[in-house]
Structure 1
């Protein structure tokens, strides 16, 4: 029993695990790899976060944003225009389509790649802006909840809703009797 215990302790226990150390020569430790990957991912997200933290948008950036918004409506309206031109001037439309038929296939592939990258990059930028807006909204949640609590304290059915606090002028105004027109009219009718 003592011999088996020493052999098993030497292989699996003690300060080092011979089997684990041998396997790690040929295969990465999955747990350590996951920790490294999480660390790298965290650093990348931190870098991206700092990159987009400050909004530095000058006139040129706004102009480029406006220019970047043109292709999508232009493609949609252009396609609708082709349908209209096919109905209004079929011969003119047919002539243009014959010209498009002469465009070589590699050029169509290149156009597809350019359009795909444009819309993919645009989608990514908009998704990042949306995430930033969500983060800004979440940051404001505690203030909104505090405001809601303050508003609920002002409700007419809440305790001490009509409390004037230390303001003596407001307290005197609150208990000051104003004329009751109906009561005065009734009193006049009885006199």
Structure 2
């Protein structure tokens, strides 16, 4: 919950948003109510869009965390054992059953009606049949059937892990709308404006 509040705070209380609200106040002071209303609505809508996008990205990142499920079933020395996800290594033979979430990328070795939901990675909700020799990916889910698969990649080396790392490096940037509103004019406003009338003149009329 705190992370979501941080996202909201970062989008609504950023310097550029506060500067726009100060500008709106200055426009109200000089009785330019229409312009004040317009830029206020624009910046609020733009901030809300930014909040929604960041929350969606955070939710996807959370669902792609490969260590969320505690244990996986693997065949070692011919015996089925449960091991923590972070103990999986390339070459392990994992046992797949309906309802399982794959902990790693793997190659199917045995398939008995194996069907997977790959919507997390591909967006396609239809079940995908998997036969021996097919590739299965971490963060996908077994919908039906059972089988085994040999691990080919774990952790950050999986496709889901790669996506997760990209999302972690994501940094919000100014949208074209924000740049258009507070581009070169923003520096002029901060340097030259001494009152509400000057603020309006610099941004909307020009110097």
* TM interval, short-chain normalised: under 0.3
TM-score, normalising length: structure 1: 0.27
TM-score, normalising length: structure 2: 0.25
> Which has a greater percent of strand?
2
Greater Rg over alpha carbons, structure: 1
> Which has a greater percent of helix?
1
